[in-house]
Amino acid sequence: MQNVKLDWEELRKAGQLAFEEQRYEDCEQIWLEALEDAKHSNNELQEATTDLDLAALYNVVAQYQQAEPHITHSLELRARNLGDQSLEVAECLTALAKNQGFQGKMHECEQLYLRSLQTKEATLGAEHTDVADSLQELANFYASIGNFAECEPLLLRSLSIKESTSGLLSREVASSLKTLARIYRKQGRFNEADQFYLKTLEVKEQLLGPDNEEVAETLRSLANNYSYQGKYAEAEPLYKRSLEIYEKNPDPDHSEIATNLHNLAVLYYKMGRDGEAAMLYRRALELFSTVLGTEHPEVATTLLSMAKFYEERKKFDKAATLTNLAVQIYEKNYGPDHKTVGSALKDLAELYSAQGRTIEAEDLRHRAQAILST
């Protein structure tokens, strides 16, 4: 019996299923086949959509440079077929903004978010929910670079639009509340952050029930906020409840479970519960490596966290090995001159110094300084 050839729509759906199931290699092959099908059919809009699909996949697996040309090509095709002011072009601008942000190209990222917002305002009007989403995305960008003066009014405007259009008890409002909470936390305004996380939790529990994964994510965020304040006893049961919700899911998201394990490990490390911390670090690292691949940035972040744990216990050899691995992963994903690489190199220099590797440490300090000062 011959294999039935799938058409573009069927290929796209098959790729989406593989993506949702985190079968990323299968997803890539299916969407590449869909891309060829669109090209063969001379359907530029299908081609543009598939380019965006592939870019989203490459961003998830941290192949940001591979994602970029797919987004720019999609933008070109949509602008030619639908016009510069179309919502489809705005979608491409937002996708490209995120990609540039992942690569540390912050000026380009800002300009693209602004262009996307302006396109949506011109097409939909200033009070549309899609405009509120763009306001929130731009605010998130400003928060990521520490520009809270620009960030907060954008978020408050976004929240106001969502409350007017969607009602107080809605996912859209919960999203804005959560974002405001995160921004207040980043500014050290912990009491305000607590209030907004609790409001978010209340809305999500009423909307979705107590065992929903979005509730689990909010519980984790609130626990993080308590942990930053040294309220470890309040944080621990929230982390545990969040982890339990993820683990009870019939189709669990293992990357979320790994994140919770990592956060609990950090908490126990701060509480001096070393045995539990070390065990949870290992479990988190194993899960991240299995689900995302051994060279994903989340793996590097977990390695650095483990390195800090061992460094404080004067186990400098182990800490240096873990940090060196993290540097290699960051370099592969972001390139040798990214600030994340510079920060990790600075940590590695300190560890080499503690080991008595003075010349190597000094070389790394110079390299880190050169990266971080640009």
pLDDT, mean of residues 344-364: 96
The packing angle between helices 297-312 and 316-334, to 10°, is 160
For residue 347, give every residue at least 6 positions away whose Cβ sits within 8 Å of its Cβ, in sequence order, or none: 304, 307, 323
Q: How far is CA 344 from CA 55, 60, 336, 349, 352, in A?
A: 27, 22, 11, 9, 12
- Residue reference for tokens 């110079």: 366
Nearest to 301 by CA among 288, 283, 315: 288
CATH hierarchy code of domain 1-119? 1.25.40.10
pLDDT in tens, 79-99: 999 999 999 999 999 999 999
**Confidence band, pLDDT 50/70/90 cuts, at residue 1:** very low
Q: What is the 3-state secondary structure (H, E, C) of the chain?
A: CCCCCCCHHHHHHHHHHHHHCCCHHHHHHHHHHHHHHHHHCCCHHHHHHHHHHHHHHHHHCCCHHHHHHHHHHHHHHHHHHHCCCCHHHHHHHHHHHHHHHHCCCHHHHHHHHHHHHHHHHHHHCCCCHHHHHHHHHHHHHHHHCCCHHHHHHHHHHHHHHHHHHHCCCCHHHHHHHHHHHHHHHHCCCHHHHHHHHHHHHHHHHHHHCCCCHHHHHHHHHHHHHHHHCCCHHHHHHHHHHHHHHHHHCCCCCHHHHHHHHHHHHHHHHHHCCHHHHHHHHHHHHHHHHHHHCCCCHHHHHHHHHHHHHHHHCCCHHHHHHHHHHHHHHHHHHHCCCCHHHHHHHHHHHHHHHHCCCHHHHHHHHHHHHHHHCC
When computed from its CA atoms, the radius of gyration of the chain, rounded to whole angstroms, is 22
The residue ranges of every structural domain in the chain are 1-119
pLDDT in tens, 178-198: 989 988 998 999 999 999 999
Question: Cβ(248)–Cβ(210) under 8 Å?
Answer: no
pLDDT in tens, 89-136: 999 999 999 999 999 999 999 999 999 999 999 999 999 999 999 999
**Confidence band, pLDDT 50/70/90 cuts, at residue 166:** confident
pLDDT in tens, 220-239: 999 999 999 999 999 999 99
**Residues, the chain:** 374
**Confidence band, pLDDT 50/70/90 cuts, at residue 17:** very high
CA distance 199 to 190: 14
Q: Please, what is the average pLDDT of the chain?
A: 94
10 Å Cβ neighbour count for 262?
22
pLDDT of residue 167: 83
- Is the confidence at residue 74, as pLDDT, over 60? yes
Task: State percent of the chain over pLDDT 90.
Answer: 90
pLDDT of residue 3: 64
Q: Which backbone phi and psi does 336 adopt, to 5 degrees?
A: -75, -15
φ/ψ region of 206 (left if φ > 0, alpha if ψ in -120 to 50, else beta) reads alpha
pLDDT of residue 85: 94
